[in-house]
Chains A and B, each alone.
Chain A
C-alpha cells in the first residue's frame, strides 16, 4: 500500500501532498523535508529508489516536477513507478500537455484526479478512460460556461 504521494518542484516547493495513512502534522512536515532533501540530492544516473526508515521511496522526475511516493516493504517499486507514470498520463490527458504551472494553478483538480485514481493507497481504477470519464462527468455537471472560459490561459 502506498503511504504517501508528494509532488514537489526542483526548488523543493511542495505542489501536492497526499497521505494515505493518518500522521501527525509534525511527522508529515518531517517526511516532506526529508523527501525533498533526499530526492533533490540524488545524482543523475542513479536508480529511482531510496530507503527512508522502513519505507521504500520511489521517485521520478517529470520536467521540473518530482513525483515521490512512499511504499511499504512488500510493495513493488517498479509498479509504483508505473503508478506515477499513469498519474502523469492522466494529468496530461486532462490538462492537455500538462506542465508544472497547470498543477500549481489547478492543484485542486490534480487532487480530484488523484482521488479518482488512487483510493486508500491502492490503485482504484486502472482504466484511463473511465477515470477521465468520471472526472469530466463531475466537472461538467456544474461548471458553467463562464467559468470554463475564464480558466487561466497560461
Chain B
C-alpha cells in the first residue's frame, strides 16, 4: 500500500503542473476531480490526507484567482473545493468565487455556484449580502430553471433580515403558470414562515389559494404551512376542516393521478400531513371530530397493505384517532392496529407500536394490560432503544403500587446507559416518580441516593433543590417529616463513611446540607462525628470549591457546643490562608459565629424555620444607597437581558466607546456581594447556600415553577376528566391483588432468590408491573389522573401570593389541570362535588318546587335553564353602553366588562336538572335585575346567577370603583311567599372587607329583590381569591334555610388604570428597582400587532396605555388606588417582551399571569 502512496505523491507535482496551465481543458473536469478523489481514497493515514488536501487547496486557490480561469473551469474548481470542505478542510477563499459563479455563470455553472454557496455559507455569513442581487435577478428571469434555483437557494440560506428583499418576488411566484415554480414558492414561504412568521402574515389569503391549487403538488406543499399555523392556533382554521376531509377522502379514494402513487399507495406524504392536521383540528372538539370519523375509518381500512409506508399511515391514523374526540368504534380498531404493531416481528414496527402504546396509555391504561407479556419481552430486548422506549411506557403507567418495580427497572437501565441526554431525562423521571408515589421514606431516600449518584453533575439543578425543598418544607404530618429527615441523615452518614471520592458534587452538596440542617434530629448521634466526616470531605481532593462552600455552611450550622466549636475553629483556622476568597470569607464568618454564641443562635436558629423566612427580594434596604449613587451620577442598573438586547441592537459599528463596562462590573459586584454577612443571615433557611440565584425563593421563579408543574407532564392530559370524580385507585384485579405484595418484594431483590422457572418469573414481573391498572373499566378515558394522593404533599402556603404556584401544584393532582381557575365563580359552579348543590337540594321542599315550576310556565320560558341564563346575561350586557374595544389612548371608565368566560354563567347540569323550575325563573329575574342607580354609571361586570333554591335566587355583579371593588349581590325571592329574617354573610380571608349595606332584612315580600353590596379592598395582590358566603332565611318561623355560595375574584378585578404622562412614567420607572421579565404572545391576527395586543390587554385588564413609540409601548396600572405597576413592552420577533416594575413585589407576577390569560383567551 505504501508504495502506491509514494507513487501517487511523486506523481502529484506533474499532475499539478498540468493543472495549473491556463486553459488545460483537455483533461476533462470530472476526471480531475476523479483523480483527486482516487488519490485521497488510496491514502492510509490522516496525516497524508491532510498533506494532500492542503496541496490541492493551494492549487485551487491559485487557479480561482487567476484571471484566465473560465467559468467552466471555475465550476469544476468549486466542485473540488466542495469536496475538500466535506472532508472537513476549510476553503474559505472559494466562497467569494462561488458567489461570483452564481452571478455570472450560465445556467449549469450557476447551479454549481448556488450549490457551492449553499454548502459553504451559513445564515449569518456576511458574504450572503452579495447574493441578494443575483437572486433577485434570477427570480425575475424568464428561464424557469433559473427561477427554480433562486427559489431553492432562498429557502436554504436566507436569514430573517434578508427576507423582505425577496419576499415580493417570491410572493408573485405563487401565481406563476408553472406548477413547479408555484410549489417551490410555497415551500420557500413556508421556510420564511418558520423563521419569521410575522413577515408573511399578509399572505395568508394566498396560502388559501395555494391550498385550492389545481396541481396536487402545490396543494401538498401548502399543507406544511397550514400544519404549522394550525399547531399555533387550531381555532382559527376550523372552517377548513371540511376541505381537508374532502381532500383526504379523495386521496384515499385514489382520485389523484397515478404519478403520485408511492408503491401503489396514493400520495402517502399528503395523507399523513392531512391526518396530522385533522388530529390537531379535532382535538377536544366533538363536532369537528364527528366530521372526520368516516374518513379516518376509510384510511384505516384502505391502509392494509403490507408495506412500510402503509404502517406509517396507520401509525398516524391511530394517533389521530386517539387525539380527537373519542369514538368507541374507531378506538377499538385503533387498538387492534397497535396490537398488530406491537406483536409484529419487524423490529421497527415493534418500536413504533411501543411508541403508540405510550401515547395511548395516557388515555386508556388497560391497553397496556393486553400487551403485558410483549412489554416484558421488550424490557429485556437486546436493542437498547427498544428498552428505553419500554421504560418510557412504564413511566406512563406508574402508580403507587408498581412504582418500586418500575423505578428499579429504570435505575438498572441507567446503570448501563452512557448517553448523557438519556441519563438526564430518566433521572428526572425517576425523581418525579419517587416524589409522587414513594411507598415509604426509606425507599424514597434510597432511590434519591441512587438518582443523585447516577445522575451525577449532569443532573438539572432543580432535582436536588426540589428534593431539599421537600425535606425542608415537609408534608402535612410532623411525625412523617421527622422520620424522613432522620432517615436521610442516617443514610447519608453511612454514605460518607464509605468511600465517597467518586460521588458527584451535587450529591455531596445535598448530603452536606442535610447533615448540617437535620443531624441534630437524630438522637444519640455525636455531632462531632458529623463534623469530622464533613471535615474529611473538605480535605478531600476533587471536591469543587462550590461543594466546599456547602460543606462549610453545614459546619457553620453544626458548630454549637464546646467540643464541636474547637473542631470547627480548627477548620476555620485552616481556611484562613486559602486562596479561594469565598472560602476564606466563609471561614472567617464561621470563626466569628463560634465566638459569639448569641449571634449564632440568632442567625442560625436550631430548628430552621421553614416558611417564616422573609426574603426581601427587591433588596429595598439598598434603595438609599442606590438613590445616593444615582444622585452622584451613576448609570441606572440594567438587568442582564436588557443589556443583552441593547447589545444586540448595537451590532452596527458604533463610534462611541463601549458604555457597557459599568453595568458589567456592577453585576460582578453583586455576585461577590452575595457572600457578605448580610446575605448569610437570610440564607439560613431553605436554600441555604445554593449558588443558583434562581433557587433563592425569588418570587418570579416560584411562580414559573408552579406554572410549569401545572402544565407539565400532566398538563396536556385530556381535559375531559373534569367530569371524573377523584376516585381512588381501582382495585387491582383478582390474582394480582392477592399476590402483589410478596411479588414486589421478590422482584426488587431478585438476585439472592433461587431462580424460579423463566416463565413464572415473567408472569410475576407482569403482575407486579401492571398492578393497579384498571382492567374492568376499559371505556374510561381519564388520562393519567393522579388518583392516589402523592405521598409528599407540599404544605400549602397561606401568607403570600408568590406561593400560589406551589399550592396549586399540590392540589392539581386531584383537580383537573385545566381548572380555569379565574373564570369567575368557577369553583362554585362547575365542580361536581362541592357541598352547595347537595345542600340546597336537601333543603328544597317538594311542593314549593312544584309551584315554582308552574310559575316558570306562566312566564312562558323554555325549560332550558342554561340558555335562559345566558340569554339573560346577554340582554343585560346589551342594555349597557359598551365602550368601543379599539379605542386606544383615552381611558373610558364607563364600560361593561364582559365575563372572562361564558362558562361563568353556566349553571351546573346537575343543579339544572334538579331545580329546573327555579333556575329558569331565576333566569327570568336576571333580566330585570338592575344595579342601584348610583352604581349604574360605574364600570361593572355582567350579572351572574350564583346559586338558587326554590325560594331564593342569588346573583352577583362586580362593580369596579376607582378605589375598591364592589360585590353587589341580588337576592330575589322567586316565590309568592314572604321570607323572613334574611341574612347574608360574605367572607374572604385574603381581602379586606369595607362597608356593607343591606345584608340583613326582616322580611322580604314575594317576587321582590333586594340588593346588598360589599366593598372589597386588596392590599397584597393574589392571583385568585376565593370568597364564600351564606344566606339564611326562614319561610315560616322555625324553618331555617341556608344557602351557601362561593366564587372567585382575580387580581384583574382590582386593577385600575393609572393615568400619567410619559415623563412621570419615566420617573416612576426609575424609582422601582426590581423588575420582572417575561415574553408574551403577540397577537398577530389584525393590524399592528403591538397595538392589537395592547388593546386586548387594555380591554381585559383596564390598563392605561401611556404611550406607543415604534415597536415599544409603555403601560401603567395600579392596584385599586394603591401600588402602581409599570409595564414596558417591546416587540421582539414573534413575541412581546415585557418588563414590569412595581413597588409590590408580587404584583408583576399576578399581572403577567392575567396578561397571559387574556391573550390566550383572545
Contact = CB atoms under 8 A, between A and B. Distances in A.
B31 A120 contact: no
A107 B183 CA distance: 25
Could you say which of A51, A54, A129, A151 has the most chain B C-beta atoms within 10 Å of its C-beta?
A51
A64 interface: no
A119 B155 contact: yes
Nearest to B351: A47
Interface residues of A, number: 59
Interface string B82-97: 1100111000000000
B382 A79 contact: no
A59 to B, nearest CB: 11
A79 B309 contact: yes
Contact of B145 (A48, A86, A138): A138
Given A126-B270, A129-B259, 10 more contacts: A47-B350, A51-B419, A77-B352, A78-B311, A105-B34, A106-B30, A111-B115, A119-B184, A120-B194, A127-B217
Contact of B382 (A24, A43, A76): A43
Interface string B19-31: 0000000001111
Interface in A104-140: 104-108, 111-112, 115, 119-120, 122-127, 129-130, 134, 137-139
B322 to A, nearest CB: 14
A99 to B, nearest CB: 14
A105 B187 contact: no
Interface stretch (B105-113, B201-209, B1033-1041): B105-113
Given A52-B421, A86-B262, A119-B184, A126 B382 contact: no
A82 B386 CA distance: 21
B782 interface: no
A126 B269 contact: yes
A50 B385 contact: yes
A54 B425 CA distance: 10
B260 interface: yes
A81 interface: yes
Nearest to B346: A47
Contacts of A145: none
A20 B107 CA distance: 24
B421 A51 contact: yes
B1073 interface: no
A111 B114 CA distance: 11
Contact of A107 (B83, B106, B145, B316): B83
Contacts of B270: 126
B348 A147 contact: no
A46 B351 CA distance: 10
Nearest to B308: A78
A74 B221 CA distance: 18
A77 B348 contact: yes
The 9 A-B residue pairs whose C-beta atoms are closest, nearest first, are A78-B312, A150-B28, A142-B108, A22-B123, A46-B383, A120-B191, A47-B347, A79-B312, A127-B259
B187 A152 contact: no
A45 B269 contact: no
B267 interface: yes
B262 A126 contact: yes
Nearest to B270: A126
A43 B381 CA distance: 13
A1 B223 CA distance: 13
A120 B118 CA distance: 12
Given A46-B347, A119-B155, A130 B180 contact: yes
A14 interface: yes
B357 to A, nearest CB: 15
A72 to B, nearest CB: 11
5 contacts: A49-B351, A104-B37, A105-B33, A115-B115, A150-B28
A76 B185 CA distance: 25
A127 to B, nearest CB: 4
A85 B268 CA distance: 14
Contacts of B111: 112, 138
Interface string B418-432: 010110000000000
A137 B156 CA distance: 22
A1 B193 CA distance: 13
A141 interface: yes
Contacts of A143: 108
A52 B425 CA distance: 12
A125 to B, nearest CB: 6
Contacts of B1032: none
B187 A51 contact: no
B31 A150 contact: yes
Nearest to A139: B108
A51 to B, nearest CB: 7
Nearest to A154: B34
A36 B180 CA distance: 35
A30 interface: no
Contact of B272 (A25, A53, A79): A79
Nearest to B192: A120
Contacts of A86: 262
Given A126-B260, A147-B28, A14 B87 contact: yes
Nearest to B152: A115
B619 to A, nearest CB: 37
B348 A48 contact: yes
Nearest to B105: A142
A105 B122 contact: no
A78 B145 contact: no
Nearest to B319: A76
B315 interface: yes
Given A24-B122, A43-B382, A115-B152, A82 B262 contact: yes
Interface string A25-65: 10001000000000000010111111111100000000000
Given A104-B37, A107-B83, A150-B31, A79 B347 contact: no
A46 B346 CA distance: 10
Contact of A125 (B159, B217, B351): B217
A105 B348 contact: no
Contact of A134 (B123, B148, B188, B272): B148
Contacts of B122: 22-25
Given A125-B183, A129-B259, A47 B268 contact: no
A99 B111 CA distance: 24
Contacts of B30: 105-106, 147, 150-152
B388 interface: yes
Interface in B947-961: none
A53 B315 CA distance: 23
Contacts of A22: 122-124, 157, 159
A97 to B, nearest CB: 19
Contacts of A129: 259
B107 A142 contact: yes
B550 interface: no
Contacts of A142: 106-108
B386 A47 contact: yes
Contacts of A125: 180, 183, 217
Nearest to A20: B156
A92 B147 CA distance: 27
Nearest to A52: B421
Interface string B439-459: 000000000000000000000
Contacts of B106: 142
B249 interface: no
Interface in B297-335: 308-309, 311-312, 315-316
Interface in B65-110: 79, 82-83, 86-88, 106-108
Nearest to A54: B421
Given A82-B308, A86-B262, A119 B187 contact: yes
A61 B767 CA distance: 40
A119 to B, nearest CB: 4
B145 A137 contact: yes
Nearest to A80: B312
Interface in B155-198: 155-157, 159, 180, 183-184, 187-188, 190-191, 194
A60 B601 CA distance: 67
A48 B269 CA distance: 20
Contacts of A120: 155-156, 187-188, 190-191, 194
